[in-house]
Amino acid sequence: MTNSTVHVRRAVEHDVPTLLILMRLLAEFEGYDADFAVTEET
């Protein structure tokens, strides 16, 4: 078994585009993508 180190940090502004992609993919997977209304501006 390989040991791995994971670092968790708070999200910062430049993470927003990636987070939005992940949120949209989750909404699609969960079936509520038609109601997904989050943008970088909101």
1: pLDDT strictly greater than 90: no
Please list, in sequence order, all residues whose beta carbon lies within 8 angstroms of the beta carbon of residue 11, skipping any fewer than 6 positions away: 19
Question: What is the number of structural domains in the chain?
Answer: 1
| DSSP 8-state secondary structure symbol assigned to residue 40 | T
Mean of the pLDDT values across residues 3-18? 95
Mean of the pLDDT values across residues 25-37? 96
The mean pLDDT value of the chain amounts to 94
In a domain, 14, yes or no: yes
Q: pTM for the whole thing?
A: 0.75
- Distance between CA atoms of residues 20 and 3, nearest Å: 31
Please list, in sequence order, all residues whose beta carbon lies within 8 angstroms of the beta carbon of residue 20, skipping any fewer than 6 positions away: 38, 39, 40
In the chain, the amino acid numbered 24 is: R
Mean of the pLDDT values across residues 2-30? 96
- Note down the domain range covering 29: 10-42
In a domain, 38, yes or no: yes
In a domain, 1, yes or no: no
In a domain, 2, yes or no: no
9: pLDDT strictly greater than 90: yes
The pLDDT score that the predictor gives to residue 42 is 78
